[in-house]
Structure 1
Amino acid sequence: MSAQPTMEPAPARALNMADALARRSRSHPDRDAILAKKGRGEWTRTSFGELEARVAAISAGLAASGVTQGMRCAVFVRPSADLVAVVYALFRVGAIPIVADPGMGRERLLQALEESEPEVFIGVPKAHAARKFFPKAFQKVRLAITCGPRLFWGGKTLAQIERLGRTAQHPVEPSTSEHDTAAILFTSGSTGPPKGVVYTHG
């Protein structure tokens, strides 16, 4: 009886969630990527080309600030062009955005943050103020980035990160595979302890 040859598992494909944005920006740079309400009857438009340029700058700025592949990053930014740009920039770096539904309530939200142990916190000023009042949930945070004006909590602003990235000599090249974690999402729909849903780049 001859031994059956063992089948080697296929190598993981190189893949990144931000790849689709890069392709779209090349094929349709002037098409609208984001329509955001600015005021009564006013909307701001962001094209795929503009969004890609912001993602390239923010990802390079994050990398220059020490954000690396696999690093967990809590994101507390309102739905906006900034939120989309930040999340795609994190994808490109290979860092893992952690997004939680505010409807979970304060206690479950803090529990979710304690469980996920983010090393980077990107949020609006109100979220950073809350971080100072509940430090236990943010013990591992090494880099704080404010989306908007920065007050007493220090760290950097998203505008500073973006400017830093625009001066970088080389853009960030994704190095993730289809099986790597892309994001962790906590929702308010479940009962019991909050459990993050893990999404991969594949």
Structure 2
Amino acid sequence: MALLFDSALTAALGRELDRAWVGQRLEAVFFDGESRRVRLVFRENAWGWFLHPLHGVLVRIPPPPMNRRRRDRGILVGRRLVQRVEVEPDARRLNLKLTSESDEPDETLVFELVTNRWNAIYIVGRVRTVLHRRPGDPQFRSGAEWNPFISPRMWTDSLPDPAEWKTFLESGTIPDSEVTRRIAYLSSINEAAVFAGD
């Protein structure tokens, strides 16, 4: 059974991975399209990220034997340190920032955890333009300048304190039916707990 990620859970996972992985040496990354799995092989351990939306999960796995032939099949080999794990505010995307001990360009491993669209992409250097058009969205056209996701929802930078939240709910500024859609980090997964005050 898959974990269902909303932006709040993604942010929490990002903080946890940042604490656990920053400064760790990433030996290799293996993409397996058939099983929809990404394997991250660190010096001390390994993790498997199963990206199928019906059974997606991140788990610790036994590290594979890293002989020379196996290393060559990985996307990157050694000399990459995890610099930080970033999560864009109110988004379901983790950016694993990698840095090299030499003068090679920085790299990013991006995990997108949208409900029915779990993806991973490996980026070398900085992405400045989007190369493929996405229908229906004018920002995603060939050659357009790429801008990071900016949530249109309220309170993406910091959560309201309890008094501010109570005042907001009592004010009726947003109809009850739209609160979950308009407030950052709220989703159908966590709304019952939020409105119960947990």
Give the TM-score category using the shorter length: under 0.3
Higher strand proportion, which one? 2
Give the TM-score normalised by the residue count of structure 1.
0.25
Q: Which has the higher contact order (CA 8 A, sep 6+)?
A: 1
